[in-house]
Amino acid sequence: MRIVSSNATYDVIVIGGGVTGAGVARDCALRGLRVLLLERHDYNHGASGRNHGLMHSGGRYAVTDPDSARECILENEVLRRIACHCIEPTDGLFVTLPDDDLSYQATFVDACRQAGISAEVIDPQQALQLEPLLNPDLRGAVRVPDASIDPFALTLANVLDARLHGAETLTEQEVTDLIVAGGRVQGVCTLDHRTGQSHEFHAAVTINAAGIWGAQLVRHAGINIQMFPAKGTILVYGQRVGQMVLNRCRRPSNADILVPDGTVSLMGTTSDRIGIDEVDDMRVTEAEVNLLMREGEQLVPQLAQTRLLRAFAGVRPLIASDDDPSGRSISRGIVCLDHATRDGVEGLITITGGKLITYRKMAELATDLACRKLGVDAACTTATLPLPGSEQRNVITGGFKPSGKSNASKRHGDRRRAIPADDALDRMSICECENVTIGEVRYAIEQLQAHDLANLMRRTRLGMGLCQGRSCACRTANLLAHLTGNPDSALRDLARLIDERWRGTKPVAWGSALRDAQLAAAIYQGLCGLDKAISRKEVEP
């Protein structure tokens, strides 16, 4: 196959379009570097789009991992200033249930305060006034500055700012090899999944921000990183059963966090070591669903009567430890590797570990190192410069508080003014569950690099609501085909989205969820004939 070599030479190539890679691209661009960001699928396709959306106060790690706890609370305060539109300032409660050791509460509070985390012990009755659906038999409660954060909006805001400051960002570009010569990484080889062409891109520094996939990536340079693929499964309930983040006040364990997210609630999470060969095709098991349901109902009994929408799993990129099969005791701290000093390979940096909330600090560390290698003296400004969408926000309130449905203000902040709304067609809603308009779809295509239904879902939450795309997917596929001028791909695109939604519904397909799935099958197979129009082999990418 002919290799297309890029004429442009970059200062930095960033591999990975999750929140860390997006943050690195933004930081590099703000410091005046010529940047190329490469993502093999779409932004947030990996772990950054498969988490419970918790903006940690650090409380969860205060006892077991104080360094990570301090990192979390410092970045919590930063994000409230620079990413207000992505945040719902819910606060959080760590509650002691009848089966929990009440003496652990004092240990927890002391550890929080030593890490700089506000931890207010409140009376259980006061906790029930704040959250009436909590287990009424709770024995203790501590209030901490947790929050809910939209990881999709956060990543896209970083990508958008990187582009506004001159970075180039490409999706569907899988890095297939590293170009190594004279003991130095000089660039990357990629495969463009849309065109089938191979490309070469060259840069003085390459930053590996590919998460769990980063361990495989550096092997192209003869480097070994022992990663621990820790799978975490999460349930999505079709109702917001609380207004605050609810945590079990005990040592970190499975199924001890319930996070409000717009009109739904996310119950998580598990932690199980899996094989590296499983990270591209993780399946939620019946045992994981049962565990999360059982523990969730202890925390909030109302969950037993709450509709389950779906289940999904992500994988944490932790540095391996052979004596911890769950990964719970492994530090969630940031790991920044200079492969010149570690492995004798110049021009390559790996940034990994950390949390969603610490992405900005991770990006700062990687960019600092890249600047030193390039001889560039430029200070980091990402801790003070607001992200696109948060420029005019009232930072005192700390974020966006929904008044019902999720809407364009929460997804795009001040950038909602760029969404076309001049005529009635643009103002027309195409996804009623998440209140997505035709104008917002147009904005996502023209400004946010959306080219298929899955892209639109990550940029607008289209199809993420109560109907899980059953009501809006078909008409959106038609709209997308019209706006992009590519009607031939409409059926395949629609089939892929419906298949993806079914993968999430299948683990919880009983009762109302099963009835909804049967309705979707009747609509898309019986009425639309989707199963006859396209085979499953064509659906799978």
92 exposed, middle or buried (CB, 10 Å; 0-12, 13-18, 19+)? Answer: buried
The whole-number average pLDDT for the span 282-311 is 95
Which residues, in sequence order, are bridge partners of residue 36? 13, 168
Ranges in the chain annotated CATH 3.30.9.10: 87-147+228-319
Q: What is the pLDDT of residue 224?
A: 93
Q: Give the position of tokens 């988490």.
A: 51
Q: What is the pLDDT of residue 525?
A: 78
Distances in Å between the alpha carbon of 154 and those of 54, 67, 86, 201?
12, 24, 6, 27
Most confident segment among 260-274, 315-329, 335-349, 431-445: 335-349
Q: What is the pLDDT of residue 399?
A: 45
Q: 266 near 234, Cβ under 8 Å?
A: yes
251 exposed, middle or buried (CB, 10 Å; 0-12, 13-18, 19+)? Answer: middle
Distances in Å between the alpha carbon of 133 and those of 93, 102, 405, 524?
13, 20, 21, 38
CA nearest neighbour of 351 among 224, 207, 187: 207
Percent of the chain exceeding pLDDT 90 equals 67
Neighbours of 227 (CB within 10 A): 22
Confidence tier at 501 by pLDDT (50, 70, 90): confident
240 against 525, higher pLDDT: 240
Distances in Å between the alpha carbon of 186 and those of 14, 201, 216, 253, 342?
13, 9, 18, 43, 18
Q: What is the pLDDT of residue 331?
A: 61
526 against 280, higher pLDDT: 280
Q: How far apart are CA 141 and CA 70, in angstroms?
A: 21
Q: What is the CA radius of gyration of the chain?
A: 23
On the question of pLDDT at 394 being above 60, the answer is: no
On the question of pLDDT at 479 being above 80, the answer is: yes
**Structure tokens of 88?**
């719902």
The whole-number average pLDDT for the span 299-327 is 80
Of the given ranges (73-82, 210-219, 244-253, 517-526), which has the lowest mean pLDDT? Answer: 517-526
For the entire predicted model, the pTM comes to: 0.92
Q: How far apart are CA 97 and CA 250, in angstroms?
A: 9
Q: How far apart are CA 214 and CA 111, in angstroms?
A: 33
Give the 3-state DSSP-derived string for 201-264, with helices as H, strands as E and coil as C.
EEEEEEEECCHHHHHHHHHHHCCCCCEEEEEEEEEEECCCCCCCEEEECCCCCCCCEEEEECCE
Q: 309 near 468, Cβ under 8 Å?
A: yes
On the question of pLDDT at 311 being above 90, the answer is: yes
Q: What is the pLDDT of residue 228?
A: 83
The whole-number average pLDDT for the span 233-251 is 95
Q: What is the pLDDT of residue 480?
A: 87
Neighbours of 70 (CB within 10 A): 18
Sorted by sequence, the CB contacts under 8 Å of residue 108 that are 6+ apart come out as 59, 62, 63, 94, 119, 142, 249
Q: How far apart are CA 362 and CA 355, in angstroms?
A: 9
Angle between helices 490-505 and 511-521 (to 10 degrees): 160
The overall average pLDDT reported for the chain is 89
Q: 70 near 115, Cβ under 8 Å?
A: yes
Q: What is the pLDDT of residue 97?
A: 97
Q: What is the pLDDT of residue 393?
A: 61
On the question of pLDDT at 59 being above 80, the answer is: yes
- Strand ranges in 16-128 using DSSP code E only, listed in sequence order: 35-38, 54-55, 87-88, 92-96, 120-122
CA nearest neighbour of 462 among 499, 416, 431: 431
**CATH superfamily, with its number, for domain 87-147+228-319:** D-Amino Acid Oxidase, subunit A, domain 2 (3.30.9.10)
Q: What is the pLDDT of residue 468?
A: 83
CA nearest neighbour of 235 among 497, 44, 50: 50
The whole-number average pLDDT for the span 180-200 is 96
Q: How far apart are CA 291 and CA 354, in angstroms?
A: 26
Q: What is the pLDDT of residue 304?
A: 95
The whole-number average pLDDT for the span 199-211 is 97
Of the given ranges (37-46, 101-110, 328-337, 435-444), which has the lowest mean pLDDT? Answer: 328-337
Q: How far apart are CA 121 and CA 442, in angstroms?
A: 48
Confidence tier at 537 by pLDDT (50, 70, 90): very low
Sorted by sequence, the CB contacts under 8 Å of residue 363 that are 6+ apart come out as 20, 23, 24, 26, 27, 351, 382
Sign of the torsion formed by the C-alpha atoms of 14, 448, 148 and 87: positive
Neighbours of 45 (CB within 10 A): 18
Helices and strands (H and E) in the chain: how many: 18, 22
- By three-state DSSP, how is residue 487 classified? helix
Confidence tier at 533 by pLDDT (50, 70, 90): low
Q: Give the position of tokens 């001040």.
A: 414
The whole-number average pLDDT for the span 153-157 is 96
DSSP strand pairing (257-261 vs 245-248): antiparallel
305 exposed, middle or buried (CB, 10 Å; 0-12, 13-18, 19+)? Answer: exposed
Of the given ranges (151-160, 202-211, 415-424), which has the lowest mean pLDDT? Answer: 415-424
On the question of pLDDT at 36 being above 80, the answer is: yes
**Structure tokens of 437?**
């308009």
Neighbours of 46 (CB within 10 A): 25
On the question of pLDDT at 330 being above 90, the answer is: no
The whole-number average pLDDT for the span 344-359 is 95
Q: How far apart are CA 5 and CA 136, in angstroms?
A: 64
Q: What is the pLDDT of residue 332?
A: 65
